[in-house]
Chains A and B, each alone.
Chain A
């Protein structure tokens, strides 16, 4: 019935190594300015870290990324909450059509739509400015958030609200003390996935975005794609790009384990 314990341990160990090993050269590069083949370990001289604070691009971009992702996440949840609740708890005409349309921006790659958005956003004066950037992110992450939240609400029983209302609790208080606590971990997980999603966006920000508001991926991409040889700087930037995500995942680990969403669509 069960796999032999030894084989099982081997497979799990290999999986861990495969998944975590690639981070080693990244970490080593960040602390070494030079690393010439065939040295297995570079000469550690602190790499780009000491110069990070005099760098004019990376830290501001990190701050911009955090601000943009936080804002988009907040707006997505605020604007999608009631739509998700209706999708998850009620049946109505057109529900399947809405669910289907919400999948499209999530599935169809951004490259296939971004240039169409560019022309339209130019006409709407939403091109090359901050509101346009936020709107462009919302186009993809509001539907995504709504879908994830709708799945949260599928396991939510509105009878709880009816019970509270029959006990004389008002609409707002019911919402604050009944609905929100009941879906709390689902909302946290949705927020985490939404944040990670917007955090990874490069193309959209680059094409539509504000030239004075550069996010981390927009700063990193030209550094890596031209075969730039300042690998130490790239590594530092990438570590700063990954780190916030890991911190958020750790912080939300309890909600992630609680929520059924944890095993769902993930942050694809």
Chain B
């Protein structure tokens, strides 16, 4: 059974013209890290607020471990949340922040409290910092305190709202690894919101891509690169060329030739053939011909905008090859780097 089940959640903020969530469905498995990925304004933070109880949905249901959460105040839900800002209580020390919830909320015995605080400080790699004031530690440490403080409530589900987005790249990687380690050690189910596809790919066991207030695809990270569900998902994960083609069974025919694609995200008929810009192989020898229209140097790679039997095709080649506008390139396409999605339709 899933840990968290969200069913048809709709939420419109007062005074807003558009709903923030338009029928959100999501299921999070026990013990996994699921990342909700999306651009800012897609509704991902609202989703977390509804799950935590900080915002009330207009319709739909939130269930945790089979129990209805609707109408329960945030403090009554066995769900903790780490925010983008560390929000440490500045009038307290690091240790007092860590044990804030059991100390203020539950009145845990002193001895047990001290022991649990010590353990959590160790787990958060904050040993020796317990006595420092919350204002005296670094940004990375602050986020560790915030994480430890949330874990002290022993939550059934931990929500993380872009917890690392304010940190430098190096620190970010270290903390990602740390969060994964905590997930393995404690088995805490985590719902992790981010706008960074690479971060999501690194940290999550599954990614739910969110657009316009709903989940458009929920799958393992590598599937997003190999098998995007729609054109928008494909664009989000770096696919560039969308060439009109026709599909019959597993066979897709296009101006570039025919490709056999298993399990494509489209029915038979008019489709879009997706080609990654890095897909060209056998440069100078292959069967396909294209004429260079413009050259866009990008450092170690060069992007060529080409015309390939009437289709516009962007190719990214490394610096060993050099062509100028008007020249013809011959190449083949790596069959691993093509995919097929349904033709454009109007998305609400």
Shortest Cβ distance from B178 into chain A, in angstroms? 31
Shortest Cβ distance from A3 into chain B, in angstroms? 13
Q: How far is the CA of A1 from the CA of B56 in the complex (A)?
A: 11
Which residues of B sit under 8 angstroms from A1, Cβ to Cβ?
54, 73-74
Shortest Cβ distance from B13 into chain A, in angstroms? 15
Q: How far is the CA of A1 from the CA of B54 in the complex (A)?
A: 8
Q: How far is the CA of A1 from the CA of B73 in the complex (A)?
A: 8
A interface residues (Cβ-Cβ under 8 A, vs B): 1
Shortest Cβ distance from A34 into chain B, in angstroms? 53
Residue count of chain B within 8 Å CB distance of chain A: 3
Closest chain A residue to B55 by CB distance?
A1
Which B residues between 79 and 119 are near A, CB-CB below 8 angstroms? Answer: none
- The contact sample of 3 A-B pairs, CB cut-off 8 A, is A1-B54, A1-B73, A1-B74
By secondary structure, the B interface counts as loop
Shortest Cβ distance from B75 into chain A, in angstroms? 9
Shortest Cβ distance from B4 into chain A, in angstroms? 21
Q: How far is the CA of A1 from the CA of B72 in the complex (A)?
A: 11
B interface residues (Cβ-Cβ under 8 A, vs A): 54, 73-74
Which residues of A sit under 8 angstroms from B74, Cβ to Cβ?
1
Q: How far is the CA of A1 from the CA of B76 in the complex (A)?
A: 12
Which residues of A sit under 8 angstroms from B54, Cβ to Cβ?
1
Shortest Cβ distance from B276 into chain A, in angstroms? 46
Closest chain A residue to B53 by CB distance?
A1
Shortest Cβ distance from B53 into chain A, in angstroms? 8
Q: Which 3 A-B pairs have the closest CB atoms?
A: A1-B54, A1-B74, A1-B73
Shortest Cβ distance from B55 into chain A, in angstroms? 9
Which residues of A sit under 8 angstroms from B73, Cβ to Cβ?
1
Shortest Cβ distance from B38 into chain A, in angstroms? 25
Shortest Cβ distance from B235 into chain A, in angstroms? 38
Q: How far is the CA of A224 from the CA of B73 in the complex (A)?
A: 55
Q: How far is the CA of A93 from the CA of B54 in the complex (A)?
A: 48
Shortest Cβ distance from A214 into chain B, in angstroms? 53
Q: How far is the CA of A42 from the CA of B54 in the complex (A)?
A: 54
Shortest Cβ distance from B134 into chain A, in angstroms? 23
Shortest Cβ distance from A163 into chain B, in angstroms? 31
Shortest Cβ distance from A266 into chain B, in angstroms? 27
Q: How far is the CA of A250 from the CA of B54 in the complex (A)?
A: 38
Closest chain A residue to B54 by CB distance?
A1
Q: How far is the CA of A1 from the CA of B75 in the complex (A)?
A: 9
Q: How far is the CA of A1 from the CA of B55 in the complex (A)?
A: 9
Q: How far is the CA of A29 from the CA of B74 in the complex (A)?
A: 54
Shortest Cβ distance from A32 into chain B, in angstroms? 48
Closest chain A residue to B73 by CB distance?
A1
Q: How far is the CA of A53 from the CA of B94 in the complex (A)?
A: 71
Q: How far is the CA of A1 from the CA of B74 in the complex (A)?
A: 8
Shortest Cβ distance from A2 into chain B, in angstroms? 10
Shortest Cβ distance from B54 into chain A, in angstroms? 7
Shortest Cβ distance from B78 into chain A, in angstroms? 18
Shortest Cβ distance from B51 into chain A, in angstroms? 15
Q: How far is the CA of A85 from the CA of B235 in the complex (A)?
A: 52
